[in-house]
Amino acid sequence: MMAKKRLLFDALIMDSFWVCFVVWLCMTAIPVIGQSLAQATVEPGMEQAVKWRWAPEPSNPAAWGLSLEMQPEPSSMANSTHGVAGKASVSAPNPQGPPEKTLEYVVQKGDSLSLIGRRHGVTVAQIKEFNRMKRDIIVIDQKLRIPSIADIQAMAPVPKPAPKPKVAQKPETKAESVKTKEVAAETKSRLKRPLPSAASSVARVVLMQAYLDRKGFSAGPIDGTDGPLYDAALRSYEAAYPGELRSEMGQIPEALQNMGGAYAEYQLRREDFRWIAPEPPKISATRKSGNSASPEPGITLEQLTAASFLPYRNVWEFVAERYHCSESFLRRINPGLKSSVTVGALFFVPNVHPFEIENALAEPLQPAADPATPVTATIVSNSRLEIRRSGKLVANLPVAVARPGLRGRGTWKILDAIPRPQMVSPGDPVMPASVPQVLPPGPNNPVGFIWINLAKGSDATPLPYGLHGTSIPGYMRRQESIGGFRMTNWNIAFAVRLLPAGTPLTWQ
């Protein structure tokens, strides 16, 4: 009898424990999990700000970009050297890239290859390869040659094979396989270095993506994979320009042959750092790649509004946007480059017309209206912007809404464009801030670097939502943010020069 009572008592205790545990889970753990999932659907830093009213305002053109005055010159040691026979200065400030000329360095007490590499803007691997060293061991008074930019390019290391993207693709036909090899061979013939396998294996798809991008029929960030967006862009172009991509079986269409290959090369310049954050991400750490699992955490609205300019978070993001590709794809086709790269680094990039942020805002942004060749625009299913000139489709570009439920009807109108917009808000409508919240201009402003005002019907009053760029091209279809109808920065830069003020905008 006592044993039964003891068992009953133990059961009651366990039941009480589980009831308490479930109550704790509902009150603490589940809300935290729910909050994390909710944050994943909003652009980092904008979790509360998406509920506020924001308006674009022109910013000061003088504040566009970062100062290069504090950046050391990449050839800061050149003045104290004389070619190969010269001695590299030990006390010179660390440069941002390799020297312009080959240098000779005499190892001093306390030196290591990493310290020598930092002093001269080169990597340990580059020093070892240039000096044919198998080990990292150095001795005092040993003479090392420091490779110049030209030396590094001439070494042309064969990159290690990179893993293929884990994206299901249709198996190639025999004709497509032949075409892939031809594209890769043609691309290699015009490059200074051999292509990594991760680049050559998808050269056929990248060539077509780059071609469509050049023609204004973008499928979004180039990533070497086909899919619904790629197929839609290709069908749209073939319908607009029938026969241009026709070819004999296994042959590359002439239009694509004239491009000169799927890839080009880009060498990082010192002036590029005018647009790149000079230190680890404190201003904008949003991943640009749509292939990554999730954006990097930690960005707050306070950090965004405290800045005077919102630059690219790193070199990879800058080069990826310049050449219209996802950041993860850029890293995959450049396996020989470290995560931290400096001036002189040579990238394989898609062969597109680059988005040159330093020249993208040259006036006039919008063309003058020409009654002889009227321009019209249509947003289809809230996902594509179609632009026609005299009824002929000349561009078909991806669009995504910044906020759920945002949609137009009937006929709107394209108004003026605001370059370098800063976004201003009174803050929380329940408790407005005494000082307006300001998101400064820059490529990582949530609305990008151009805002095009829109109006309904014949009204000339701009709406609170416009057509604009984005800081998250790989996530603009997945994450909520401020603004209205967003496009990648390179696509809005292309579209604005096709859309005169007064262009009718219809919805389908």
pLDDT in tens, 98-118: 788 899 999 998 898 988 988
Residue 228 scores a pLDDT above 70: yes
More confident call, 25 vs 37: 25
Q: In angstroms, what CA-CA distances link 8 with 12, 14, 19, 356, 362? A: 6, 10, 17, 76, 82
More confident call, 419 vs 36: 419
At residue 125 the predicted structure's pLDDT band, cuts being 50, 70 and 90, is confident
The percent of residues above 90 in pLDDT, for the chain, comes to: 59
What's at 262, amino acid-wise?
A: A
What length does the chain have?
A: 508
| Average pLDDT over every residue of 232-259 | 89
Query: Interhelix angle for 203-214 vs 174-189, to 10°?
Result: 70
pLDDT at 431: 85
Contacts of 272 (CB under 8 A, 6+ apart): 315, 318, 343
Residue 86 scores a pLDDT above 60: no
At residue 295 the predicted structure's pLDDT band, cuts being 50, 70 and 90, is very low
This prediction has a pTM of: 0.71
Residue 312 scores a pLDDT above 50: yes
Which uninterrupted H or E stretch holds 187?
helix 174-189
What's at 169, amino acid-wise?
A: Q
* pLDDT tens by residue, 148-157: 888 887 775 4
| Average pLDDT over every residue of 390-405 | 95
pLDDT at 73: 52
Whether the Cβ atoms of residue 309 and residue 444 lie closer than 8 Å to each other: no
- Distance of alpha carbon 58 from alpha carbon 462, whole angstroms: 14
* pLDDT tens by residue, 428-444: 888 888 889 999 999 99
